[in-house]
Amino acid sequence: MMFSLAASHAKGKLATDKIFGASAAAGKAVAQYGKENVVNATIGAILDDQERLICLPTVETVYRGIPMNEVINYAPIAGLPDFLEAAVDVCCGSHRPDAYIRAVATAGGSGVIHHAIWNYSEIGDTVLTADWYWGPYKVLCEDALRKLDTYALFDEQQAFNVAAFETKVKSLLSKQDSLLIIINTPAHNPTGYSLTDAEWDSVLNVCKDSAKVGSKRIVVLVDVAYMDYAGEKDACRSFLRKFGGLPQNILTVLAFSMSKGYTMYGQRTGAMIGVSSSQDVIREFEAINQYTSRATWSNINRGCMRLLATIHQDKLLSAQLEQEREVLYRMIRDRAEIFMAEASNVELKMLPYVAGFFLSVPAKNTDAVCDELHNDNIFAVPLAKGVRIAVCAVPALKIKGMAAKVKRAIDIV
């Protein structure tokens, strides 16, 4: 037994995530065989066709122009007021829900998830998400002494599985008085799926039905980390309007992040946006989440908050940024389309991809499938139920032929 000084709740924790493991293996292959001979589909960031990390040009120009004292200074714990206003505006676009809305600055989207778990689920309770989910959801829950349970994301028609969702919501609410539900859409990680507006209606009907018992509390956390690459700006935000007029025992929290939408991954800037029909709930939302920020990281990155506010206040800069994003969106979409067309040709089963950084192929023994792919110098992330391929990071030329190799690896294993 290893000698340990850790408190009982911390003992044995080790953040070895599959993504880091896969990307380390890819790095080793690059060193051995050269970058041109390796397909690294593990990276969750946009790389150009020369495999260089891309920064949106407008973001770079504006960021470099921010005065040094704005970059280095502390910020208010709640966030700079014009940043918070900008975050709500850019997140909701023309589909701002008719409700009380307030934002609190967070260390990226991860910060939103952290605070939501801490402040809207009881210690020991279970948080709910789909069976295809971003691994850190579980780490965030377990570190905060909560559990994570899942429902099957897709039904047989590869549409959102409302029945599975409803069964889990009802069963958890028969055991606990509050339920935090995390839904990652549009452009879900790891599948690229986006809930349709009709599917959102079904989700909210289940929530409203469960909330008829007034003592129950439901918080729907919508993780919109990839929304800026989910398709046409207006169309992929239309579901947001549905969060207006909900019963006061349902709170919606939007997890706004600048990591992908502004290519500021490491700058750790985001905001939790609370949407409620109750002013009390929203006042409480601001108070308790600011308190948790104070207790977790204090204030966040002032320079990056200034960046968002500056772009938002200038129509020209905003339009320019949107154009630049559009180019990246098309680049990623073109790569995914190559993979999907080839997958269909070789009869490789895929999950329904709509948009976003990743697509997924269902498989068993995913570690073995990924190991088999290493023989072709292809590196992807093995998940519990499939293999995740980061189309955001692989040039179109290297995507060509990949589906057939994935199919072969699955057939061999």
- The distance of closest approach from Cβ of residue 380 to ligand PLP in the complex, given in angstroms and rounded to an integer, is 16
Choice between 131 and 284, CB closer to ligand PLP: 131
Which residue ranges make up the site for ligand PLP (CB under 6 A)?
44, 108-110, 134, 184, 189, 223, 225, 257, 259, 265, 270
Nearest distance, CB of residue 84 and ligand PLP, angstroms: 16
Tell me what percent of the chain is helix, strand and coil, each rounded to the nearest 5.
45, 15, 40
Least distance from ligand PLP to the Cβ atom of residue 83, Å = 15
Residue (134 or 151) nearer to ligand PLP, CB: 134
Cβ 169 to ligand PLP, closest distance in Å? Answer: 20
- Choose between 134 and 329: whose C-beta lies nearer to ligand PLP: 134
Pick the closer one to ligand PLP by CB: 221 or 403: 221
Q: How far is the CB of 139 from ligand PLP (least distance, A)?
A: 12
Which residues, in sequence order, are bridge partners of residue 251? 219
Q: What are phi and psi of 98, to 5 degrees?
A: -85, 90
Q: Which residue, 109 or 274, has its beta carbon nearer to ligand PLP?
A: 109
CA 162 from chain center: how many Å? 21
Other CB atoms within 10 Å distance of the CB of residue 215 = 8
- Identify the residue whose tokens are 């029909």: 277
Q: Under DSSP, is residue 18 helix (H, G, I), strand (E, B) or coil? A: helix
Task: Compute the distance between CA of residue 86 and CA of residue 306 in angstroms, rounded to an integer.
Answer: 10
59 neighbors 304 (Cβ within 8 angstroms):
no
Whether 109 and 259 have beta carbons less than 8 Å apart is answered as yes
CA Rg value for the chain: 21
Residue among 55 and 404 whose Cβ is closer to ligand PLP = 55
Cβ-proximal residue to ligand PLP, closest one: 108
CA–CA distance, 411 with 413 (Å, rounded to integer):
6
In the complex, minimum distance from the CB of residue 208 to ligand PLP, in angstroms, rounded to a whole number: 25
Residue 280 C-beta: closest distance to ligand PLP, Å = 28
Give min distance, CB of 111 to ligand PLP, in A.
Answer: 7
Nearer to ligand PLP, 210 or 301 (CB): 301
**Residue 127 CB, nearest distance to ligand PLP (Å)?**
14
Which of 249-288 are b and which e, b meaning 16 or more Cβ less than 10 Å from the residue's Cβ?
A: bbbbbbbbbbbbbbbbbebbbbbbbbbbbbeebbeebbee
If the CB atoms of residues 43 and 403 are measured against ligand PLP, the closer one turns out to be: 43
Strands, E assignment, 65-216: 100-106, 126-130, 147-151, 178-184
Quote the CA–CA distance of 181 and 186 in Å, as a whole number: 15
**CA within 13 Å, CB half, 174:** 5
**Joined tokens for residue 34:** 């050269």
Question: Judged by CB, which is closer to ligand PLP: 108, or 386?
Answer: 108
